[in-house]
A and B are shown apart, each in its own frame.
Chain A
Amino acid sequence: MEALGPVLETLIGGLLTGVLYALVALGFVLIFKASGVFNFAQGAMVLFAALSFARLAEFMPLIVAFALAVVIMIALAYAIELLVLRHLVNQEGIILFMATLGIAYFLEGFGQTVWGSDIYKINLGLPTNPIFILESVFPGGLLIDPAELIAAVICAVMVLGLAIFFQVTRVGRALRAVADDHQAAQSVGIPLDYIWLMVWAVAGLVALVAGMMWGAKLGVQFSLSLVALKALPVLILGGFTSIPGAIVGGLIIGASEKLAEVFLAPVLVRTFDLAGGGIENWFAYVLALLFLLVRPQGLFGERIIERV
């Protein structure tokens, strides 16, 4: 039983981090569902949202800063729809992807032009003293970071809300229709502009929450946009179109990379006499790569249909 203690502690820590990965992955899923396009700008949106929030919070109460940041992200979604997406109706997926590439670099630069390029702190006033649980079972109990726990709860609530929203049959069908064929969707009366505005706004809000959580953890700076890269293996595991997939994928990646770091890395180092460490940085990608070979559509993704 005692030997299980460290494993459980690592697992819990990994799962909590996984929830944060899931939150970032969720932003990708939303936009992929409604346009069939991988939104390269999601990471930049996380950075932009976090910057807006962090700088605004310097002058006003957190809640007001949050409300203003929400307004900013909705305005951003509106601008993207009006200035970019609207003009790319019925274009190939790769064109839309290139557009998100442009949006990504614009947002990164523009965000730093407006808000500054130093490292900014986000203090959400979350408790920092670690909690110990199950002290009667394990000597010393299991350590849990309360900030991560709270982040996980917030994330879980958001995920649940979104999952329910997309459960509405009409919305779900309309999104899939838009992703499949713009013109056909328009021809049956699905308002493309409204749908795109809606999903980009929701993706913006998800980016804001993700940015706040990661920003509180790592500080708000340019490298925050790289957090999005960790969402890639999550998406490959969970499937690009599945909200539950993003959650499960996030949890698997979070847990397995922590376990690999703590338990696999020392074994590898000892066996092969390596310089050591850093397995956490690439383990997720290897996992995703292996997964791609076995099940390219992900755990919960739609089957890929090809006419032969």
Chain B
Amino acid sequence: MRAPSEQDVAAGEVLLSVENVSLAFGGVKAISGVSLDIRRGEIRAIIGPNGAGKTSMLNIINGFYQPQHGRIAFKGRERSRMRPYDAAHGGIARTFQNVALFKGMTALDNIMVGRTLKMRRGMLWQLLRVGPAVREEVEHRRQVEEIIDFLKIQSIRKVPVGKLPYGLQKRVELGRALAMEPDLLLLDEPMAGMNLEEKEDMSRFILDVNEHYGTTVALIEHDIGVVMDLSDRVMVLDHGVKIADGTPDEVQSNQAVIDAYLGVAH
């Protein structure tokens, strides 16, 4: 289905490859034999109608779901069974469709939690609050402040996130994922429920993350306009099956995609 394109040639090595993966819940097939590759440095979109299996795909990539069939290799290493902890450890960060923040904590603390895996000093050091442990905490805090500046959320850093409007919550969630310094950033509908202005801001942040930090991004999004503007390559799922994969232009002109979105005359 996918024709070689300019993007393919220009893009970097394969960061993540999913081969012929199938996932079923009981008798319900969520994903059937889908292959997907994500190249280092690109913005990769997964689109499709509701129930197409997009979120299931992300859940497979970061270890929430274990597919029944297929192979997955991340950074060239194939894995049989991976827990979310391993995925996070390997450099995969993500956000969620319905914002999953730690509601009682401030924006700052939420983002600090993203540094969990980066904290290396033992607990005893942290207890004593001396030397290296203090320096480490300060260093993490500095990096978190950098992310806060980048996302322009300085004014809300001490606000419990439960009190923030939805658009800002999404931004804090992105901040938490960025705090992990991920190699691969998975975004599950980063613009859902946003107004036009918020969508533009979020698009800007995603592009900046991709350009400045060189972070590879894989995202799910319903707003087709946004997807086509942002992405280097787009995969289209429908009922758990891949129906198209390629550059935005290729995908847009694909008859199967048009049918899936607009319906076919029977």
Measured CB to CB, the residues of A under 8 A from B are 164-165, 167-171, 173-174, 176-177, 180-181, 183-192, 302, 305-307
Q: Does A170 lie within 8 Å of B127, measured CB to CB?
A: no
Interface size on B, residues (CB 8 A): 34
Q: Does A173 lie within 8 Å of B109, measured CB to CB?
A: yes
Closest Cβ of chain A to B173, distance in Å, is 8
Q: Does B102 lie within 8 Å of A177, measured CB to CB?
A: yes
Q: Does A181 lie within 8 Å of B116, measured CB to CB?
A: no
Considering the chains assembled together, what is the distance between the CA atoms of A176 and B116 in angstroms? 13
Which residues of chain B have C-beta atoms less than 8 A from A189's C-beta?
84-85, 88-89, 116-117, 180
Interface of A is mostly: helix
Q: Does A169 lie within 8 Å of B114, measured CB to CB?
A: no
**Number of CB contacts from chain A to chain B under 8 A:** 92
Q: Does A186 lie within 8 Å of B163, measured CB to CB?
A: no
Given A180-B102, A305-B163: A171 in contact with B123 (beta carbons within 8 A): yes
Which residues of chain A have C-beta atoms less than 8 A from B62's C-beta?
187
Q: Does A186 lie within 8 Å of B104, measured CB to CB?
A: no
- Contact string, B103-117, partner A, CB cutoff 8 A, digits 1/0? 111000100111011
Partner of B160, one of A173, A174, A177, A305: A305
Which residues of chain A have C-beta atoms less than 8 A from B101's C-beta?
180-181, 184
Q: Does A177 lie within 8 Å of B88, measured CB to CB?
A: no
B28 at the interface (CB under 8 A from A): no
Which residues of chain B have C-beta atoms less than 8 A from A164's C-beta?
127
7 sample A-B contacts, Cβ–Cβ < 8 Å, listed by A number: A170-B119, A171-B123, A185-B113, A188-B180, A192-B84, A305-B104, A305-B163
B93 at the interface (CB under 8 A from A): yes
Residues of B164-211 at the interface with A, using a CB-CB cut-off of 8 Å, are: 176-177, 180
Closest Cβ of chain A to B81, distance in Å, is 14
Considering the chains assembled together, what is the distance between the CA atoms of A189 and B126 in angstroms? 19
Which residues of chain B have C-beta atoms less than 8 A from A171's C-beta?
123
Q: Does A177 lie within 8 Å of B113, measured CB to CB?
A: yes
Q: Does A305 lie within 8 Å of B127, measured CB to CB?
A: no
Considering the chains assembled together, what is the distance between the CA atoms of A180 and B161 in angstroms? 12
Given A183-B96, A186-B84, A305-B160: A173 in contact with B113 (beta carbons within 8 A): yes
Considering the chains assembled together, what is the distance between the CA atoms of A169 and B105 in angstroms? 13
